[in-house]
Amino acid sequence: MSEPISALNHASYEGIAKVEECGLQGMITLRGDLSDKVLAKAVKDATGQKVPGQREAFVDGDTGVCWMSTDELLVLVPYAEVEAKLAAMTNALSGTHALAVNVSDARAVFRVSGANAREVLGKLAPVELSAEAFQPGQIRRSRLAQVAGAFWMDDAETFRIVCFRSAADYAFKLLKVAAQPGSEVGVY
């Protein structure tokens, strides 16, 4: 059996913020009626979290759930458990109009951390990232320069970023340029 590795296999860079590719992350796209009780229980069983409201992200380490749209959630589970969690979820949702798909290998995940993390993201996404506007517990789907990306904050100085695996190299290079030494803007 071949060994699964993530897109950039833990590549990292140190500039005005630290940029790391996080490695493998189990990820399930779940679509359905977010007010459905069966769906809510499936999310709870998989992640221990309740269904997030608009733009909420409840993430603890490599487990959690993020609001992606009015009918879509991103369920995060440890990579090694994704098949089992997906099977349990699919089973629980068998009588419900919902769809759960393993997208782990279609995605790349990055971490940007440090006092200038907001600046690094702010250079790439057309999003208000001041501490008043964006906080841990929120998710924002947007773009990173020319590719789609979603991000949330693990703490006051740490972002986690999800993009398509096919764009991982581009996204990493973007983040590196945005984190170049001496490139502080001083806005946030």
Partner 1 sequence: MLILNCPYCGVDAEETELAAGGEAHLKRFGPGSSDDEFHDYLFMRENPKGVHFERWRHANGCGKWFHAARCTQTLEVFGTYSAQTTEPPQEIKDAITAKRPGWSWREFS
Binding site for partner 1 (CB under 8 A): 54-55, 68-70, 72, 126-128, 140-143, 148
Q: What's the min distance (Å) between Cβ of 127 and partner 1?
A: 8
**Overall residue count recorded for the chain in this entry:** 188
Q: What's the min distance (Å) between Cβ of 126 and partner 1?
A: 5
Q: What's the min distance (Å) between Cβ of 147 and partner 1?
A: 9
| Nearer to partner 1 among residue 67 and residue 172 (C-beta) | 67
**Which residue type sits at 130?**
S
Sequence-distant (≥ 6) Cβ neighbours of residue 74 within 8 angstroms: 27, 28, 29, 30, 65, 66, 68, 150, 162
What are 36's two structure tokens?
């459905």
Q: What's the min distance (Å) between Cβ of 143 and partner 1?
A: 4
| Nearer to partner 1 among residue 126 and residue 186 (C-beta) | 126
Alpha-carbon Rg for the chain, nearest whole angstrom, is 17
Q: What's the min distance (Å) between Cβ of 140 and partner 1?
A: 7
What are 151's two structure tokens?
């991000």
Q: What's the min distance (Å) between Cβ of 142 and partner 1?
A: 6
Backbone angles phi, psi at 136, to 5 degrees: -55, 140
The helix/strand/coil state of 2 is: coil
Sequence-distant (≥ 6) Cβ neighbours of residue 43 within 8 angstroms: 30, 49, 50, 51, 65, 73, 75
CA dihedral 160, 171, 2, 62 (to 10 degrees): 0
| Nearer to partner 1 among residue 117 and residue 124 (C-beta) | 124
The helix/strand/coil state of 118 is: helix
